[in-house]
Structure 1
Amino acid sequence: MSLRFLVDSMHGYVARWLRIMGYDTIYLNNIEDDEAIKIASEGRILVTSDSELAKYAESRGITVIMVKGLSEQEVLRTIVERFNLTFKEDFLRCTVCNGELKAIGLDEAFNTLGFTPKGVEKFWKCKSCGKVYWKGSHWKNISRQISRLFNTESTCNDA
């Protein structure tokens, strides 16, 4: 089973990057602790800087990553190292809603977007919210960020 995460409202950046890396990640926004525990108890790792929530979750047998006082990059690096995460280069998760992405053809991309970026042949669409993704010029920035995170050379040169 793939790792799944629940990230508290203080760490939206972390949630977004876990999704970019291909991990099922729910982002908590204005949810009470009891509801967070209920969601986390469904096999999710809780990422939080809230010490009370962390203690409450641990008392319920939930795996917690306490990240108080860490920068967002340090939080990501901590998660990557602790769970030996890998980067899945094909888009798997919507960065907006965490929905699963499916590969779509050029025609469907054009019908959804009203255009297709020049030279792009691969597209993905969120099954939940309909957002369309492709490896555009932003992909080089994502590649650099991921390379820094994993301390590796950039291999994402599809843009």
Structure 2
Amino acid sequence: MDNREAMGSWLSGPREALENAGADFGYRGEQLGLPESGPGSVARPGRRIGALVVDWALCMLIAYGLVTHGYNQATGNWALLIFFALGVLTVGTIGCTPGKRLFGLRVVSEAGGRLGIGRVVVRTVLLCVAIPALIWDRDGRGLHDRLAKSVEVRI
């Protein structure tokens, strides 16, 4: 292996380096029995982040306009509380937040169907903490989804 190959494997990441060595990881969601693409497939990171940005902007707008009447130090705290309430109420009832709906996503149980309210609360608390959402598994699910036994899919 020359220096270019070594540098290329380091830049592309461990998954691609292992795949080039012959390891077969399959596609995202294969272990969960989900399709590779289309409706019901695991949501891609770009859509998930886009939905999160829309939801956070909506919560900031609500906190800015209705609660704090201007931007101050408490606006972010109120926005986080509103984000929690929005997540629990919308994912717990219809399976998606406004941002997720806009990007064509839905949160479902690993076994299919809706999440119970307890798992929705656990998922939303961990999402508000933020760190669990930044740790992903090979299926592209965040730690908050793994602990809540949920998966975010395309609709």
Tell me the TM-score normalised to structure 1 length: 0.24
- Which one has the bigger strand percentage? 1
- Which one has the bigger helix percentage? 2
Higher normalized contact order (CA 8 Å, seq sep 6+, divided by chain length): 2
Tell me the TM-score normalised to structure 2 length: 0.24
Q: Which has the larger radius of gyration?
A: 2
